[in-house]
Amino acid sequence: MGEIVFTKHRPFSFKDFTDIMRHKTYRNKISKLIKDAVVELDYKSPRSYHTLMGYRFGKSRTHTHTEGIVTIPNNDPIYMMLKNVAMGQKGIHNIRLTFYAPEIYDIFEVNSTFAKNEHSGDIEPFKFMNIDNAKVQIRIHKTDIVSLIIACSQQPFTIDYKGKTAFFSTLAQIRIFLVGIMISIYCKDISQSENRIPDYRDWVIRMWHFSRDSLELSKKDFHVVVERAGYIMERVYTKDIGKGRKRIRHEFQEYPNKSVLNCVYPDSSKQLPQIGTYQESE
Task: Check the CA dihedral 247-252-258-262 and report its sign.
Answer: negative
Model pLDDT, residue 72: 61
Phi, psi of 79 (to 5 degrees): -60, -45
**Rounded Cα gap, residues 14 and 212, in angstroms:** 33
Model pLDDT, residue 269: 35
Secondary structure (3-state) at 39: strand
Is 42 within 8 Å of 60 (Cβ atoms)? no
Q: Name, of 178-182, 226-230, 240-244, the range with top average pLDDT.
A: 178-182
Beta bridge partners of 147: 98, 139
Q: Name, of 70-84, 122-136, 219-233, the range with top average pLDDT.
A: 122-136
275/215: higher pLDDT: 215
Secondary structure (3-state) at 114: coil
With a cut of 80, say whether residue 17 has pLDDT above it: yes
Mean pLDDT throughout 123-137?
Answer: 85
Q: Which of 41, 77, 74 is nearest to 59 (CA)?
A: 41
**Rounded Cα gap, residues 274 and 241, in angstroms:** 27
Q: Which of 236, 281, 276 is nearest to 258 (CA)?
A: 276
**Rounded Cα gap, residues 60 and 220, in angstroms:** 9
pLDDT tier for residue 98 given thresholds of 50, 70 and 90: very high
**Rounded Cα gap, residues 75 and 85, in angstroms:** 15
With a cut of 60, say whether residue 226 has pLDDT above it: yes
Is 49 within 8 Å of 11 (Cβ atoms)? yes
- For the segment 255-277, what is each residue's pLDDT rounded down to a tens digit? 888 899 888 765 433 333 333 34
Phi, psi of 102 (to 5 degrees): -55, 130
pLDDT tier for residue 168 given thresholds of 50, 70 and 90: very high
Residue 12 DSSP code: B
**Cβ partners under 8 Å of residue 232, min gap 6:** 252, 253, 254, 277
